[in-house]
Amino acid sequence: MATEDKNRATAAAILPLVGGAANVSSVVHCMTRLRLGLRDRSLVQDEALKAVPAVMGVVEDDTYQIVLGPGTVARVTPEFEKLVKEGQESAPAPDPAATPLTAEELAAQGAEMKAARKAKNATPFKLFLRKIANIFVPLIPALIGCGIIAGLNGLLVNLEWLPSVTPALAAMASGFMALIAVFVGYNTAKEFGGTPILGGAVAAIIVFPGVANIEAFGQKLSPGQGGVLGALGAAVLAVYVEKWCRRWVPEALDVLVTPTLTVLVSGLVTIFGLMYVAGEVSTAIGTFADWLLSNGGAGAGLVLGGFFLPLVMLGLHQALIPIHTTLIEQQGYTVLLPILAMAGAGQVGAAIAVYFRLPRNESIRRTIKSALPAGFLGVGEPLIYGVSLPLGRPFITACVGGAFGGAFVGFFNQLGDAVGSTAIGPSGWALFPLLDGNHGLGATIAIYAGGLVVGYLAGFVATYFFGFSKDLLAEFNVSQEPAASTTAATGPATAGAGPETPAKEPAGV
């Protein structure tokens, strides 16, 4: 089957299981997940959806998230959008003879759904982190591309190869980072309900070279001072100023007055306040990260590497992007990402241990074999949702593996060998082209590789010896083939019967 046909087939398999085109209100995707806004959550067939071959798992948040993995999600999403559009355009007109819901019934139904969703997901903290993630996630592809080019350029410069080409590569690698504040401002205004271009315009003040002639708090400003944090604050302020103007400025004057006041007021506050404050905060973040790893070392790495998997599971790891980006702006690389990447190594080691501990469970072993390549490349969600999390205890032992790997890298940071990444997004083996440090590329690669090995081994050992109780082994170390035969004989009506069926075939199998 052609790749395009395969992607369309996957989209076609997913659509009816989420309630059809009429039930889909929005479609977006991140690096690994198809994120759907749904009108009626009760129409989703979770177990059937998890059984779709390309689906690695599902996550219920403010949107319904279907884990497809990197690459796949970017190809399936356009096909899914086409099917949704076709389905909505071809939907039959409402039957006038049918009795419609009254306005009161519709309002009651909507209020009930909204209340249930809010009660589960919409805590203020989670909503805030979600907004921050939505601002920075669209920037990841550019950060990856520019980071790899920066690494390639650094290698060529060190080897003194292609001296006529390296300045061009430096421009390609640095251009986006020089203007990243503008993109952050644009996305921030869009996320907070303002006019995106006004957010970008206010944020552009931060990187304008002319600010070097301005003095605030007794100090000369410098272009880029405050970085992405300043851009974030400036754009949020611009949104509130704009909303105030929309409320009070007469409609006849709105097109002239509102954008002018938005840029003027927000710009003045940014220049004479936010740039200085955000610059101090950014400096404090860099100083704290250096202090943490210089003094905490192995202990800090243990905590960071051990607790990162739960953040990935909840989808909240994207909220760390502003911190990574600030460190890259200041130091040229983020020292946190290589340590956090050890969580994926622990997950891989745990999955390999599960593979050997459950020799009779063909279903789980197939899932592990298909998900391990992505796991080695740092994409942990397939293994999380397809293996360790449904099993329970192996998820904890995977965190143990990540903790040991993080401790290894953190220990060398404490000794003075900083290991960093020039971009964010990749992890696992995919992070090698982005590595940078303060003691040469060879030493940096060796330390990071050593951390991965420690994470693999610790995750494997912890899971193999402590990841299964006797009851868990008795329940899962059984062949799935008889169950499949029984399903075929009895028909689809009994395929999901019995409380143990979902547990023995984890999500994504």
Say whether 316 sits in a helix, a strand or coil: helix
Q: Is 30 a catalytic residue?
A: yes
Task: Give the CA diameter of the chain.
Answer: 82
Chain centroid, CA 67 distance in Å:
11
The DSSP-derived string for 229-270 is HHHHHHHHHHHHHHHHHHHHS-HHHHHHHHHHHHHHHHHHHI
What residues contact 266, with CB distance under 8 A and at least 6 apart? Answer: 202, 234, 237, 238, 241
Whose tokens are 């390296």? That residue is 166
Sign of CA dihedral 480, 355, 7, 45: positive
Sign of CA dihedral 398, 404, 409, 413: positive
Q: 64 forms bridges with which residues in the sheet?
A: 36, 60
Residue 378's CB is within 10 A of a number of other CB atoms, namely 21
Yes or no: say if 58 and 452 are a contact pair by the CB < 8 Å rule: no
CA angle 479, 484, 485 (to 5 degrees): 105
Q: How far apart are CA 284 and CA 371, in angstroms?
A: 39
Please identify which of the residues 30, 146, 245, 399 carries the catalytic annotation: 30
Q: How far apart are CA 431 and CA 448, in angstroms?
A: 9
Q: Put the strands of the sheet holding 33-38 in their side by side order.
A: 24-29, 33-38, 64-67, 57-60
Q: Token pair for residue 261?
A: 């006041």
Q: Token pair for residue 39?
A: 């009108």
Q: 67 forms bridges with which residues in the sheet?
A: 33, 57
Active site residues: 30
